[in-house]
Amino acid sequence: MRFTDSPVIELPVGGALLSIQQDNGTMHVGTTVWPCSLVLVKFVERWFSAAQPSNPYAALLDFRNKRAVELGAGCGAAAMGLHLLGLHNVVVTDIAPVMPALKHNLKRNKPVLGKTLKTAQLYWSNPDQIKSLNPPFDLVIATDVVYIESSVAPLISAMEALVADSGAVLLGYQLRSPEAHRLFWELCDRVFDADKVPHEHLHPDYAYEETDVYILRNKLR
């Protein structure tokens, strides 16, 4: 299920408005804006500005001096949204066929972003490309990236290689393929401890029943 057939998605973040152009007519899923990216951004926005001392995500969302990388960024909604919320040192990655759409949206939103975010081509199974990103990162961001069974193992390996021992993976997740779903959580459990964000903690306007946010952290060794 695609989020919308509209060619342009508008996402209000931190008092600004992102305008994200998608192309549902291509064969590449990365040229469509999927719900998980919006849900993740609005979850972060809700708690990033939360003043209550009981904020359970305060340390996680303290973006000062943190490095981040997004995997499978697609149209760039998640990275751009988090940038507006203070995550300024982020590298946005995807495969070669999707890069034109990604770069177009970064350029399209430059007046709002104030800068063009760093981009890099990344195939999860390519160790040289992973190494060229200069890991580790404090945060690895991924939204709606689990939908093909054959890509699950490379994805988990890339996450493990990129995230710092003390870092975290922010994962926007929706079940797309039962086979990929089972394998992802089987392999994930070997590497990460996963905490599911309660649905009541999501942004009330962006809390879709099928979409979840997880926080993955390296298992203690």
Quick one: how far is CA 117 from the chain centroid? Answer: 14
Over 60: is that where the pLDDT of 221 sits? no
Assign residue 196 the CATH number of its domain: 3.40.50.150
Give the separation between CA 19 and CA 149, rounded to whole angstroms: 32
Share of the chain above pLDDT 90, in %: 76
Over 70: is that where the pLDDT of 3 sits? no
Structure tokens at 55: 């904020």
Predicted local confidence at residue 24, as pLDDT: 61
Give the separation between CA 199 and CA 158, rounded to whole angstroms: 27
Structure tokens at 31: 């040229």
DSSP track, 15-33: TEEEEEE--TTSS-GGGS-
Over 90: is that where the pLDDT of 118 sits? yes
Residue 207, domain extent: 8-218
Predicted local confidence at residue 2, as pLDDT: 43
- Residue whose pair of structure tokens reads 């291509």 in the numeric block: 26
Over 60: is that where the pLDDT of 143 sits? yes
Q: Is residue 105, in this structure, part of any structural domain at all?
A: yes
Q: Is residue 183, in this structure, part of any structural domain at all?
A: yes
- AA letter at 1: M
Predicted local confidence at residue 205, as pLDDT: 92
Q: Is residue 2, in this structure, part of any structural domain at all?
A: no
Predicted local confidence at residue 170, as pLDDT: 98
Give the separation between CA 104 and CA 107, rounded to whole angstroms: 5
- Report the relative pairing of strands 163-174 and 211-218 from DSSP bridges: antiparallel
Over 50: is that where the pLDDT of 106 sits? yes
- pLDDT digits 0-9 by tens, 152-205: 999 999 999 999 999 999 999 999 899 999 999 999 999 999 999 999 999 999
Q: Is residue 1, in this structure, part of any structural domain at all?
A: no
Domain count, the chain: 1
- AA letter at 10: E
Q: Is residue 160, in this structure, part of any structural domain at all?
A: yes
Over 50: is that where the pLDDT of 1 sits? no
- The pTM assigned to this predicted structure is 0.92
Give the separation between CA 208 and CA 55, rounded to whole angstroms: 22
Q: Is residue 3, in this structure, part of any structural domain at all?
A: no
Q: Is residue 24, in this structure, part of any structural domain at all?
A: yes
Q: Is residue 192, in this structure, part of any structural domain at all?
A: yes
